[in-house]
Amino acid sequence: MHRRTLLKAVAASAAGAATISAKSAHALESARRSGEPFRLKYAPHFGMFRHHGGQGPMGQLQFIADEGFRALEDNGMAGKPAELQTKIGKEMERLGLEMGVFVAQADFGRVTFASDDDAMREHIASDMRKAVEVAKRVNARWCTVVPGKYDPGLEWDYQTANVIDNLKRAAEICEPSGLVMVIEALNPWRDHPGLFLTKIPQAYMICRAVGSPSCKILDDLYHQQISEGNLIPNMDLAWDEIAYFQMGDNPGRKEPTTGEINYRNVFRHIHGKGFQGILGMEHGNSLPGKEGERAVIDAYRLSDAFEG
């Protein structure tokens, strides 16, 4: 039962003022025994549970499903061979797992969406056409787009206009298939200096301007805790444009209960708003090996044991 790992997670949660009631603790232990589905669609990624599921993707998918997860995300899906994409898609369908995001366009070294260069526009379009095909193979509804670097030699409002125009063109490619680009704001202080998109209000303004069902927000709570905090109020203000969430605690970018974010309250709020989408587990494991993998699962069981 790995009770020692569970008790460590409970203690960490209590230290963070996210105490758990006796009723919730009982529900948590029952869920661990049965592998019952989590209340929200948390999505691990390949490699997160390789010590339990094996090195191959199929064994990891089986383990993910057996533990009660209902989704998977894989940033690198577009780089896998088409035959493997198809095989993964079929196995996920068999296991009842939904596909979360994969990365369609994310250049951290160049000005991309903020540019009005014709060659760059075609490069973006080519990536989005490829993303549509990948999505068909793995039954994906969402793909991640990072709008690239900002141009220090161009007024900010002109760059914003370019980003909007380029996203409109990309959305036109996605709309016929129903694929949704989710644009991700990344923190400039710890991980990604120099990028154009950094905050949720900025992403909200851009999505409203693009005005397409195929252009929405990926709200990565790790990045936003660093960039601006105010997670729940910003979530509420931008709610109509948010299609996807990702998690990671801060500092450290590990599983919930390891940092300062009260994920139990955050998940309660998201659940209370009726969110039916996916929450990607885009973070590392705080401990190595099987113990670390079990600690990740326990942290999500704890955080998912909210009342209400």
**In angstroms, rounded to a whole number, what is the distance separating the alpha carbons of residues 234 and 88?**
35
The angle subtended at Cα 220 by Cα 48 and Cα 238, nearest 5°, is 150
Average pLDDT over residues 189-196: 97
Confidence (pLDDT) at 27 = 58
Whether 273 has a pLDDT exceeding 90, the answer reads yes
**In angstroms, rounded to a whole number, what is the distance separating the alpha carbons of residues 176 and 305?**
39
Note the pTM of the prediction, 2 decimals: 0.91
The angle subtended at Cα 9 by Cα 224 and Cα 30, nearest 5°, is 110
Q: Please return the burial class of 271, using the count of CB atoms within 10 Å of its CB with bins 0-12, 13-18 and 19+.
A: middle
If one counts the domains in the chain, the total is: 1
Residue 136's domain comprises: 3-304
The residue behind tokens 């980003």 is 163
Percent of the chain with pLDDT over 90: 88
pLDDT level of residue 308 (50, 70, 90 thresholds):
confident
The residue behind tokens 């969402």 is 142
Exposure string over 21-55, b if 16+ CB within 10 A, otherwise e: eeebeebbeebbeeeeebbbbbbbbbebbbbbbee
Per-residue tokens: 18? 């996210």
Confidence (pLDDT) at 16 = 40
Torsion sign (Cα): 250, 229, 277, 263: positive
CATH code of the domain covering residue 51: 3.20.20.150
pLDDT level of residue 159 (50, 70, 90 thresholds):
very high
Whether 50 has a pLDDT exceeding 60, the answer reads yes
